[in-house]
Chain A
């Protein structure tokens, strides 16, 4: 059986020309992006540490484990992306004009 043709990753799809003369705005500065990221990481750390001081009221017993929701949210999304990228995409991705030809 012939292997279906896969679309290629093209550079022009994710790199676009930008007018360099234009004034840089908020999120163009690497500094801003960095500080946003650090604020975010701090929030994440604080949220996790709340579990140390606070006992949740829950229906299922595992909801009361330390960091259950945090770990679940993180692991779920990593699994989601890995499955989508390495299992689903090779199975279902075709060229854009797949149905036109």
Chain B
């Protein structure tokens, strides 16, 4: 049965094609209408499998609609609308089109019912994201964009290899539970892991998101990692490896975030930290933990988008994003500052803000599973995330020392977009039942118990106390303009080492060949053939002298032989002599 609606991705992707031909207000209205129309279209699609067709003997499904895919689709629509509103000032159509197609690609991926369709949309995500990075058009952005593309193409190829093996082994292209066993599933697992920013595969994220355009980063932070979270929740729930991967993801980025100077890079590290909570939730694999992972993905898209928007607004107005250059902006940008604090409270999981109602589900699932170590690391990460994203971001941008920067408040459409995200964060935090109703498993989870509220507040206030005391005592590390080495060192410096090694080897071979074949041998031959007959006799005499043991050689005979050959003192030419010699040597070789 085909529902009376279009496949979910169609409106955004086809609508994007028209954007370059529109101008001014019409274009703005058109772009804002697209996610709304797409959402209305989505509501008309009932749960089930739609738009299936056969391709090369495999059943492809464009619209597998169930509760897991729907909740991601809802939040993707919301963040697409917010991002478009936030980027209304952008006249560069590369960004506008890439952003819309990116959102459409994410929808296509979460509704893909088979692995081939998933792969196609997976690659659309990569391409659109690359354009959003390159569109900044700085040297750093070009480099970061190229690296982003290479890493994701490598991850995509890994995924494709896994998909082909999987499909050949099982004979079906269906995208459902896969589970970690055997090479095929491992390749798919790693392919998802690259997009999910697993440790050591994560550096494309912290490398490129801070270099992307102001509006592009909002799209980037929403789609790529969350589609990967969706794919993991679909194919690998309850895989134990994910618990450990997620724990590492939650823990290590917070250390980097403390010493990082670029505030959008701080947010990129905290994005990995938040995705870590989701990955742990998927790895535990109970109904509560999967719900927690999905709810946290939903919330993270909003509050991380909000934080990136506020930092984008600061970058837009001041042109600066390093903590060393900023400070005291609460006077100039009070609205942005307020929204930033809302986003910070949400990511830190303050009661009444959105992070509180989802992060605790994952924590509680870990506690129910008696995973003590994981639980402690996650608690550490919860305290740490407040420390770097909750306090550091608003404090260094809007308070701290006065940077002397005086600018205007962010443009109206940006304030509106940030406002919508901020209201959504507070709304979800205050009325979590509306979010819980959308989750894949029915739940009666109650985040607001007195114990939970008090313990979370204590945790956060004492983290803040630590920050305050460290700052007042001067122990808190001063912000320093610097680059911090991460795992991307392996390919950023490693590629140079490889390049140098290759250059050394091939240049060495080249210059050796040059010296031998271009300089020495031709010059030797040239000198010899200036006077071939004389030279043959000269060297013949020298060899004879060596054999007979005459130390002084035959100097007079040599002079005579050369003189005779130069004045043509022979009845036959030197050439004939050489030919005769050649034939003599050949006949020797032939007969003996």
Q: Which residues of A contact B (CB under 8 A)?
A: 7, 9-10, 13-19, 25-28, 37, 40-41, 43-44, 47-48, 50-51, 54, 56-60, 63, 67-78, 80-85, 88-89, 91-99
Contacts and interface: CB of A to CB of B under 8 A. Distances in A.
Contacts of A43: 461
B197 to A, nearest CB: 18
Interface in B375-404: 375, 379-380, 383-384, 387, 399, 401-404
Contacts of A96: 481-483
B454 A16 contact: no
B458 interface: yes
A57 to B, nearest CB: 5
Given A80-B254, A80-B383, A84-B259, 13 more contacts: A7-B481, A7-B482, A9-B480, A16-B401, A27-B330, A27-B399, A56-B454, A58-B451, A70-B458, A70-B461, A80-B387, A81-B476, A92-B486
Contacts of A88: 255-256, 259
Nearest to A7: B482
A21 B385 CA distance: 38
20 contacts: A16-B327, A19-B404, A26-B330, A27-B399, A56-B454, A60-B367, A69-B462, A72-B459, A73-B458, A74-B462, A76-B384, A76-B466, A80-B255, A83-B255, A84-B255, A85-B259, A92-B256, A92-B485, A94-B485, A98-B483
Nearest to A68: B455
B527 interface: no
A84 B459 contact: no
Interface stretch (B1-9, B225-233, B467-475): B467-475
B466 A93 contact: no
B402 A18 contact: yes
A73 B364 contact: no
B470 to A, nearest CB: 6
Contacts of B451: 56-58
Interface string B486-498: 1000001100000
Given A89-B477, A93-B484, A59 B367 contact: yes
B361 interface: no
A73 B476 CA distance: 16
B466 A73 contact: yes
B324 A80 contact: no
Contact of A85 (B454, B463, B477): B477
B234 interface: no
A13 B479 contact: yes
A72 B477 contact: no
Nearest to B379: A72
Given A56-B454, A70-B459, A77 B467 contact: yes
A18 B404 CA distance: 5
Given A88-B259, A95-B483, A14 B401 contact: yes
Nearest to A93: B482
Mostly, the A contact residues are: helix
Contacts of A95: 482-483
A30 to B, nearest CB: 13
A16 B403 contact: yes
B383 A72 contact: yes
A88 B269 CA distance: 15
Contacts of A68: 455
A14 B324 contact: yes
Of B331, B455, B457, which is in contact with the most chain A CB atoms at under 10 Å from its CB?
Answer: B455
A95 B560 CA distance: 73
B406 to A, nearest CB: 8
Nearest to A75: B466
Contacts of B17: none
Nearest to A8: B480
Contacts of B466: 73-78, 81
A19 B457 CA distance: 39
Interface string B127-140: 00000000000000
A51 to B, nearest CB: 8
B336 to A, nearest CB: 16
Given A14-B401, A74-B466, A81-B470, A93 B480 contact: yes
B564 interface: no
Nearest to A58: B451
A40 B481 contact: no
Nearest to B326: A16
A48 B402 CA distance: 33
Contacts of A47: 454, 457-458, 461-462
A78 B467 CA distance: 8
Contacts of B402: 16, 18, 28
B464 interface: yes
B455 A69 contact: yes
Contacts of B464: 40, 44
B460 interface: yes
Nearest to A78: B466
Nearest to A86: B477
B465 A13 contact: no
A70 B476 CA distance: 20
Nearest to A17: B404
A27 B401 CA distance: 10
Interface string B62-99: 00000000000000000000000000000000000000
Given A14-B479, A57-B451, A80 B384 contact: yes
Contacts of B475: 81-82, 85
B480 A69 contact: no
Contacts of B470: 77-78, 81
Of B327, B464, B482, which is in contact with the most chain A CB atoms at under 10 Å from its CB?
Answer: B482
A50 B451 CA distance: 11
B169 interface: no
A11 to B, nearest CB: 10
Contacts of B468: 37, 40
